[in-house]
Structure 1
Amino acid sequence: MSRSVLFDTETTGFEPLTGDRVIEIAAIELENDLPTSNQFYALIDPERDIPPESTKIHAITNAHVVGKPKFADIADEMLAFFGDAPLIAHNAPFDFGFISAELERIGKPPLDKARMIDTLVLAKERFPGMPNSLDALCRRFEIDLSARTTHNALLDCKLLAEVYVELTGGRQRGLTLDMEASLSFAHYQPPASRTPRRIALTDAQREAHAAFIAKIKEPVWLKE
């Protein structure tokens, strides 16, 4: 089984090297690119104020983090959950930058960028020139966004996990693995032979097909 971890952060701002801090971390375990029930979550005291403009994005206020653990208190548990798995995030350099800055503050090595899988890069490769925000991808793949009124690390992880499945074809691979695991070849019986049934086309369908073929340069259907 191939294990990876998909994660997301919420922060006090955009610049980890000039004082902005992580205030929320969520991570979901994937096996063969499909989510499992294992997850990690922490709301963190950033040891500084949360600006109102950041609260507008994720709805987390200073009151929400009073008495919450500091990053140093949850770092070991987070790293244990990450393990040595590939780490998936949307606009991954942003999240990697913040987590690495927090780790370095407490004397731990930064995240290895070789482990980074950026779903934004995957989306741009598949949909060049199109909007590829998490919201845009959810709408494109018809994933329910009704609960996403603000940014929320755990909800964003769950949505991104669904997006990642669509971007990578993970659901089909997972289905194949499940079928292979459940198939007992000792009791396998080949399907009974069936007589092929011709599908009759209407005149309108034949005309539509001919018009479609006419638009294709050197269609293989017309070659002898």
Structure 2
Amino acid sequence: MTAPAATRGRSLGERLLRLVGLGASGPLAEHRRRYAGLDQDRPLTDYTFTVLDTELTGLSPRTDEIVSIGAVKVRDLSITADSFYSLVAPRGGVPKVSTMVHRITPEMLRGAPRLRQTFPRLMEFLGDSLLVGHNIGLDMSFLNRAARDILGGRLRIPCVDTMRLAQVYERECWENYYDQFDSRVSYQLGDLSASYGLPAFDQHNALYDAMQTAYLFLFLVKKLKSGGIETLRDVYLAGRSWRWYL
């Protein structure tokens, strides 16, 4: 019997991984069980966060691909030395315009693992932590495409978006001190970090951007804590700054 087009060319192990991911005891089911009973009312210091960033060939989750992934763990609201970084060889090559942004060339990606190889290692690194990212919805759209291709379903993981947290913080500043209609604030990661006097890292490197985002996350959480942000539920209520990705 001829294999379906969707599975043709995949190894038996890859096909089994996809099928196992659909079952009640597979990796995707285990991933979802980790978050099924998440208690949102514990102090933020009780949670482990993984701050993540991806570099891409473009901004379309349908046609573009991941070329690098960087992540760093935050425990007890402190950045740890526990980090993850991998280049990822895309199937369709790297457009010159994207190389101009992240400086990742085709030569650098020769011998790099495919996303199918990198994704299980990333999932292991994430464990049962919560995700943090700057405009995290974009990263999740690419990771969920990978999850569908590799595990046969979408991830279900709570995410905190530092861009939304920054908007909440800036709104508080405007209401208390400034013209609330001031539109001059840039919500780019580098611009926010410079504005808040945070340590500066090279931009458009996935690991460095994850580190930059981690500093921004801790700055914003500590600023917002003075206004009563103490638990994960408080973060959610502060402006729907995190959400479930189903």
**Percent of aligned pairs with the same residue?**
27
Partners of 1:111 and 1:152 in 2: CA distance: 24
Alignment partner of 1:10 out of 38, 50, 55: 55
Which 5+ residue runs of structure 1 have no aligned equivalent? 174-224
Amino acid at match of 2:144: S
Q: Is the 8 A contact 1:44 1:71 kept in 2?
A: yes
String of CA shifts for 1:26-53, please: whole Å, max 9, x gaps. 1111102211111111101111111111
Is the deviation greater in 157-166 or in 127-136?
A: 127-136
Q: Is the 8 A contact 1:24 1:42 kept in 2?
A: yes
Query: What SS does the aligned partner of 1:169 have?
Result: helix
Q: Is the 8 A contact 1:89 1:118 kept in 2?
A: yes
- Matched residue pairs, number? 168
Alignment partner of 2:209 out of 147, 150, 156: 156
String of CA shifts for 1:126-157, please: whole Å, max 9, x gaps. 11442121111111121233x42x41001111
Q: For 1:106-185, what aligned pairs fall within 5 Å after superposition?
A: 106-112=150-156, 115-128=158-171, 129=183, 130-145=185-200, 147-148=201-202, 150-169=203-222
Task: Tell me by how many angstroms 1:165 deviates.
Answer: 1.0
Query: What SS does the aligned partner of 2:49 have?
Result: strand
Q: For 1:1-224, what aligned pairs fall within 5 Å after superposition?
A: 1-17=46-62, 19-112=63-156, 115-128=158-171, 129=183, 130-145=185-200, 147-148=201-202, 150-169=203-222
Q: Is the 8 A contact 2:47 2:130 kept in 1?
A: no
Task: Tell me by how many angstroms 1:108 deviates.
Answer: 3.9
String of CA shifts for 1:59-99, please: whole Å, max 9, x gaps. 00111111111111121110011112210000011000011
Q: Is the 8 A contact 1:134 1:160 kept in 2?
A: yes
Amino acid at match of 1:88: V
Query: What SS does the aligned partner of 2:147 have?
Result: helix
Amino acid at match of 1:14: L
Where does structure 1 differ by over 6 angstroms across 4 or more consecutive aligned residues?
none
Q: TM-score, normalised by structure 1?
A: 0.70
Task: Tell me by how many angstroms 1:110 deviates.
Answer: 2.1
Q: Is the 8 A contact 1:22 1:102 kept in 2?
A: no
Q: Who is 2:40 aligned against?
A: none
Amino acid at match of 1:151: H
Task: Tell me by how many angstroms 1:22 deviates.
Answer: 0.5
Partners of 1:34 and 1:131 in 2: CA distance: 26
Higher relative contact order (CA 8 A, sep 6+): 2
Q: Is the 8 A contact 2:52 2:69 kept in 1?
A: yes
Q: TM-score, normalised by structure 2?
A: 0.64
Task: Tell me by how many angstroms 1:124 deviates.
Answer: 0.7
Query: What SS does the aligned partner of 1:99 have?
Result: helix
